[in-house]
Amino acid sequence: MDSHLRSTAAINSFLYTNTMLISIIIPVFNEKDNIHPLLDVLLPIAENYAHEIIFVNDGSRDGTDKIIRNIASQNKQIKLISFNRNFGHQIALMAGYSFAKGDAVISMDADLQDPPSAIPEMIEKWQNGAKIVYAKRKRRDVDSVFKKKTAAFFYQCINMLSDIKISENVGDFRLLDRDAVDYLKKLPEHSPFLRGLVAWGGYKEDYVYFDREERHSGKTHYSISKMINFALDGITSFSVKPLRLATYMGFSAGSFGFLGIMYAIIGKFFLPIPWVTGWTGIFVGIMFIGGVQLITIGIIGEYISKIYLEILKRPHYLLKEKINID
């Protein structure tokens, strides 16, 4: 009887594995030297499932789209979406989610730092009931000390400021169930912070673990300025606490100013010492108040800029071409 049940479960698992569709989304920007090495590793794994591989060309200028176009002409399961220009990594992922048809959708980078070998375990976790499966880095030895420290600081900040817990040491290498993908597609944000939006949905999560390797070819496209903008998008998308912090700083500065006034009055009329007004106190006071004002204006400006972009209602991206996309 037990043998019969095991056989039935194995048959059902086989039928399920071979009827489900797995979509793999790969945003690319100037990655021409990584496409063939990636597919050499990815295709033998993907071919164990009904699959589609969607490359989202985010305005590459090095001929990346030409390489993918040639490959897609020989393999209809490889698909290409090209933008008119560079719209950003998060927008490219959202475009991939919009066109993906899979029962499960996996997003990954093209530089082989996200190992395709983790995909079978991610699918197994999904089959066992997880709606979101994160690929979490066990080691980041290939990253610089600066990047590791700033990443840790960012996640500490956003988790302290936000009511949503965002997992540390995870990137955009993850599997989403169709329900989670459909939920993301309904969100209208023009500057999506997907790591937060995915967690915000509250779907059942699980993890697989991997060691982060070096890029196969080329240099990272995330400059320090892009990392800072990414961090600001994340914080302002999931917390209003910076606005409250600005209010607290205003009250603090006002309180210090009031105490300074009281001290000056008492010193002028009641202390038996000559009152000499020094330039140091004035300079420090002006710099302190001015700094608080500029920080406060900057915080408010970040939120106003997000409101401005939402009100414009411009399209998230402009398509240049679609290949093998229905």
Could you tell me how far CA 181 lies from the centroid of its own chain? 15
Pick the CATH number of 2-222+315-323 from 3.90.1150.10, 3.90.550.10, 3.60.21.10, 3.20.20.70: 3.90.550.10
CA distances from 83 to 189, 191, 216 (A): 19, 17, 24
With tokens 């993850």, the residue in question is 174
- In one letter, which amino acid is 288? F
pLDDT score of 298: 78
Question: CB of 178 within 8 A of CB of 104?
Answer: yes
d(CA 100, CA 24): 8
Residue 9's pLDDT is: 41
Contact 173, 107 (CB under 8 A): yes
Non-local (6+) Cβ contacts of 79 within 8 A are 52, 53, 54, 55, 72, 99, 322, 323, 324, 325
pLDDT for 268 equals 66
Cα 34 from Cα 200, distance rounded (Å): 33
* Residue 134, H or E segment: strand 132-139
CB 34 within 8 A of CB 115: no
Q: What is the pLDDT along the chain (326 residues), one digit of tens a residue?
A: 444 444 444 434 444 555 799 999 999 999 999 999 999 999 999 999 999 999 999 999 988 999 999 999 999 999 999 999 999 889 999 999 999 999 999 999 998 888 999 999 999 999 999 999 999 887 666 566 766 677 777 777 767 777 677 777 788 899 999 999 999 998 888 878 888 888 888 899 999 998 877 665 656 655 566 667 767 776 777 677 777 777 777 777 777 767 766 766 676 667 665 655 565 567 667 767 777 777 778 788 878 877 877 788 788 889 999 999 87
pLDDT at res. 284: 66
In this structure, are residues 303 and 177 in contact, taking their beta carbons and an 8 Å threshold?
no
Confidence at residue 68, expressed as pLDDT on a 0 to 100 scale: 95
pTM of the model: 0.74
Strand 170-177 with 104-107, pairing = antiparallel
Could you tell me what percentage of the chain is helix, strand and coil, using 3-state DSSP and rounding each to the nearest 5? 55, 15, 30
Give residue 219's pLDDT: 65
Phi, psi of 123 (to 5 degrees): -65, -40
The sign of the CA dihedral 185, 49, 123, 107 is negative
Per-residue model confidence (pLDDT) at position 102:
95
